[in-house]
Structure 1
Amino acid sequence: MTSSPTLDVVAIGNAIVDVLARSDDAFLAQHALTKGGMQLIDAEMAETLYADMPQAKEISGGSAANTLAGLAALGAKCGFIGQVNDDQLGAVFAHDVRALGIKFDTPVMQGDIPTARCLILVTPDAQRTMNTFLGASQFLPEAALDLDLIQSARILYLEGYLWDPEQPRAAMRAAIDAARNAGRKVAFTLSDNFVIDRHRADFIDLIEQGLIDILFSNEGEIQSLAQVDDFDKALARFADKVPVLVSTRSEKGAVAIVDGVRHEAPAAPVSQIIDTTGAGDLFAAGYLAAHLEERSVEDCLALGAAAAAEVISHWGARPEEDLNLIRAKLFA
């Protein structure tokens, strides 16, 4: 008999340190970067771009880790599984995650493949252009999984970005099996259109098999997954296959279809958008935090929107304001 969960969420994701710098459109054009997108780069490109970047700020990041940071700030008990190297950035990442109260014990990788970093250029319109060198994170082996940790959590949270490399993909499949064998829920975020383009068949197969309980996306991602240009048609394609289907729409708010019933919520007000990095990650954090508290779907959407609004009001993908105060005001 499976024991009762002792953690709320365990996430598997890229263990990345974000390097953020202010930029302009001319710099993006000079380096042939697609504004607002995310591309994978090799070590040589990472070195070249880093050398040319304006003064930067280093902050631990990674999509799933950002979501856990928000969840931990809201009082959830969390664990993280991700691969870093035994190097300086790896030590920075591990320190930052553990300082948030998140359990992180994945064995470090030895050798000359450095810890991953994401070079993020933020233009004056707050769009972020991400250039990711996956480094050690793409070599997370199945052997590094702590299956007891996975089975101890109410929800296993997976980021689509990490589905791209072969080893982590196999690890996440094993993690899904472990979670479901323990009767736990599996949440999955689609992450980016480029990931969907490469792994659409895999993602649809996971959905068709009923292996995903909570699916997070934005408007463009769900349309890409469904291969349609209409948002409502895209939602309809998967609404009866996922118990909880959530899709954000930037300033148009967000939609959740839960057990076939559609719910909508507006975007939370923001006085000034500084940096959109982590908006989707923190939306997922807010939504899941309220979901874990068994609040209404409307409350889940509202807390997701509030957490996203907080993170886009400053630099970086980790919350700076007290999310508990934001939640208290929201549900007062």
Structure 2
Amino acid sequence: MMRIACIGEAMIELSMAGEDAQLGVAGDTLNTAIYLHREAPALQVEFVTCLGDDPFSQRISDFIASQGVGRDTIHRIAGSSPGLYAITTTEDGERSFTYWRNASAARQLFADLDFSILAGFDAVYLSGISMAILPHPVRTALVAWLETAQVKVIYDSNYRPRLWENEAQAQQITKGMWDRADVALPSIDDEMALFGETAAQVETRFAGHRGQGALKRGESGPMSLGSQVTQAYPPAERVIDTTAAGDSFNGGYLGALLSGKSQADALMAGHQLAAKVVQHRGAIMPE
């Protein structure tokens, strides 16, 4: 059985509705892990993170287990707690986010520079958010470890400027990860913002990527990386909430690809899943 480690941060989510708040759990790589497990239950999907010993950390751990994702690789840190964010929505449906994550336990992931927990996996999946929350020496050490590790590396840059100390470090780490990634899952908007390129320049750069993957381009559909695929991608019937559109695409694509399906089938699986997810509110669509 193939084992995949999804690395990152899981947070408590407060979704505001007037004076009331609905409590949930979210995180970009966790969202992908959940959809990956749903699409390919024969694969063993584990989530790698740090949590505290508080009730909210336990709530996150219980949620992960309830979604069929493994939690044996979650490290619990006494006295720590997870990050938190709140979603507020205007009358016309526009969403805004407020974060409290500077003291998140996940920021202590790999603090001892020991990455051996990843050595037993067939593939590791991580994102720019996974990297951004780590101290820069840990990021660079992780990139260096991955360069020689006998593991399939899957990366989504998922660029969030506020999480990085500066643009130069974000560019350095992202370039290093694209050089190493066996499967690249960039979003065209993120790459344009991070590297100051046009859409055409981003497409040209990734056309020469060393491995497989998909350049996510929203309504235009994904551009195949590693092999040429020509097929039409029908748009979603309606769009209610784009939260986790990219995360769910990744889960659908990887579920198909890692199960042995063709690149064309994997691209379509990712697109179709994302098209369903954007028709529901929240990151995790009901099963």
Shorter-normalised TM-score: what interval? 0.7 to 0.9
Confirm whether residue 69 of structure 1 aligns to residue 38 of structure 2. Answer: no
Count of aligned pairs = 278
Deviations 1:75-108 (A, max 9, x none): 1310111122211211111001112222213221
Where do residues 80-229 of structure 1 align in structure 2 (5 Å cutoff)?
80-105=47-72, 106-111=74-79, 113-123=80-90, 127-134=94-101, 135-143=104-112, 147-148=116-117, 150-167=118-135, 170-171=137-138, 181-194=148-161, 197=167, 199-207=170-178, 210-229=179-198
In structure 1, what is the equivalent of residue 8 of structure 2? Answer: 13
Instruction: Tell me which of 233, 241, 246 is aligned to 2:214.
Output: 246
Match for 2:197: what amino acid? Answer: V
Distance in 1 separating the partners of 2:217 and 2:90 = 21
Give the secondary structure class of the aligned counterpart of 1:103: coil
Distance in 2 separating the partners of 1:288 and 1:220 = 21
1:265 CA drift (Å): 4.6
1:305 CA drift (Å): 1.2
% same residue: 22
1:124 CA drift (Å): 5.7
Distance in 2 separating the partners of 1:72 and 1:104 = 13
Distance in 1 separating the partners of 2:23 and 2:96 = 16
Which sections of structure 1, spanning at least 5 residues, go unmatched? 1-5, 23-52, 322-332
In structure 2, what is the equivalent of residue 60 of structure 1? Answer: 25
In structure 2, what is the equivalent of residue 275 of structure 1? Answer: 241
Match for 1:94: what amino acid? Answer: S
Q: Is 1:128–1:275's contact at 8 Å kept on the other side of the alignment?
A: no
Q: Is 1:176–1:186's contact at 8 Å kept on the other side of the alignment?
A: no
Give the secondary structure class of the aligned counterpart of 2:282: coil
CA pair 124-146 structure 1, distance change in 2 beyond 3 A: farther
Q: Is 2:139–2:173's contact at 8 Å kept on the other side of the alignment?
A: no
Distance in 2 separating the partners of 1:54 and 1:250 = 34
Deviations 1:107-129 (A, max 9, x none): 21222x43112222344665543
Give the secondary structure class of the aligned counterpart of 1:309: helix
Q: Is 1:265–1:298's contact at 8 Å kept on the other side of the alignment?
A: no
In structure 1, what is the equivalent of residue 270 of structure 2? Answer: 304
1:178 CA drift (Å): 5.4
Distance in 1 separating the partners of 2:138 and 2:53 = 21
Distance in 1 separating the partners of 2:172 and 2:140 = 14
1:171 CA drift (Å): 4.8
CA RMSD of aligned residues (A): 2.7
Which sections of structure 2, spanning at least 5 residues, go unmatched? none
Tell me the TM-score normalized by structure 2: 0.85
CA pair 301-16 structure 1, distance change in 2 beyond 3 A: same
Give the secondary structure class of the aligned counterpart of 2:208: coil
Match for 1:20: what amino acid? Answer: S
CA pair 244-184 structure 1, distance change in 2 beyond 3 A: same
Distance in 2 separating the partners of 1:285 and 1:10 = 13
Tell me the TM-score normalized by structure 1: 0.74
Q: Is 1:255–1:264's contact at 8 Å kept on the other side of the alignment?
A: no
